[in-house]
Amino acid sequence: MIIAIDGPSGAGKSTVAKLISKTLNFEYIDTGAMYRALAYKAFKNSINICKENEDNINEMLKNTSVDYDNNCIYLDGENVNDKIRDEIISKMSSKISTIAYVRLKMVDLQRAIAKNKDVVMDGRDIGTAVFPNANYKFFITATVEKRAKRRYNELIKKGMDVCFDDVLSDIIKRDNNDTTREISPLQIADDAILIDTTEKDINDVVKEILNHVLNGGKNVL
Ligand code: DC
């Protein structure tokens, strides 16, 4: 079974997807981590992500292995979970994910990783491009201010010195990259269930999704 969870940055997708996968004993696959791993490699190799550099990026990709296993992201065999969450990597991953060849490779990989498994997969294009026939599709969103506030609180909690307006403008830029790119832009699949988490507690969102998956949307939890 495939449960697809798409939506913009900071909507709470990964928290929700992790909790659902745990409850259902499904595998969780964070596709954003895959784009982040590639961005991290480009960063380490000082490869600037821009149109003029696409050949270099494609060349890098030919010599790169990415894998996602047991909640961990592997880049060329190394677990890079702790190295891909910096703001610079967030920005670079949003840019690298607009490149056609990159998307082609990642989508193939995502399909291969999910083969013969029950998975909860989160991302931007899971219900529209990776698994258009997914058993369940959810699109999780929230206002841009609320998403920025959540991200800001997370960063402050980590002890980082950030300003709310910068976080907000980064989210707006990433939304813009994600929704306007030519290939598989972020959009709601026709048959996805839309959940706005602006005023909702994350546990209520999880319940809502589980009610759909376990009982066709009726309140059983
Ligand atoms: O979900 P995230 O913030 O970790 O994702 C990082 C970037 O990767 C995001 O800006 C858009 C891109 N992405 C994508 O294009 N397609 C996906 N399925 C997942 C992420």
112-168 per-position pLDDT tens digit = 999 999 999 999 999 999 999 999 999 999 999 999 999 999 889 989 899 999 999
Predicted local confidence at residue 160, as pLDDT: 87
**2 shares its domain with 21:** yes
The Cα–Cα gap between 209 and 162 comes to 33
The Cα–Cα gap between 101 and 4 comes to 22
Region 21-28: mean pLDDT is 96
Query: What's the CA-to-centroid distance between 163 and ligand 1, angstroms?
Result: 23
Place of tokens 């060849």: 101
Place of tokens 């609320």: 146
- 184: domain CATH number is 3.40.50.300
Assess if residue 158 is contained within a domain.
Answer: yes
- In this predicted structure, the answer to whether residue 219 has a pLDDT above a threshold of 90 is no
Assess if residue 66 is contained within a domain.
Answer: yes
Write down which residue in 117, 138, 169 finishes a domain: 117
**125 shares its domain with 196:** yes
Is residue 103 a contact partner of residue 181, using CB atoms and an 8 Å limit?
no
Q: Among 77, 49, 79, which Cα is nearest to 65's?
A: 77
**90 shares its domain with 44:** yes
Mean residue pLDDT across the chain: 94
Predicted local confidence at residue 179, as pLDDT: 93
pTM (two decimals): 0.93
Q: Three-state DSSP class for 90?
A: helix
Residue 1: how many CA atoms within 13 Å on its side-chain side?
A: 12
Tokens found for residue 211: 């009610």
Predicted local confidence at residue 217, as pLDDT: 63
Residue to substitute in 15, 18, 93 for testing ligand 1 pocket (most ligand atoms within 8 angstroms of CB): 93
Assess if residue 221 is contained within a domain.
Answer: no
- Number of domains the chain contains: 2
The Cα–Cα gap between 221 and 217 comes to 10
The Cα–Cα gap between 45 and 75 comes to 13
Residue-range definition of the domain harbouring residue 89: 28-117
Protein residues whose CB sits closer than 6 Å to any atom of ligand 1: 9, 31-32, 35-36, 93-94, 97, 123-125, 174, 178
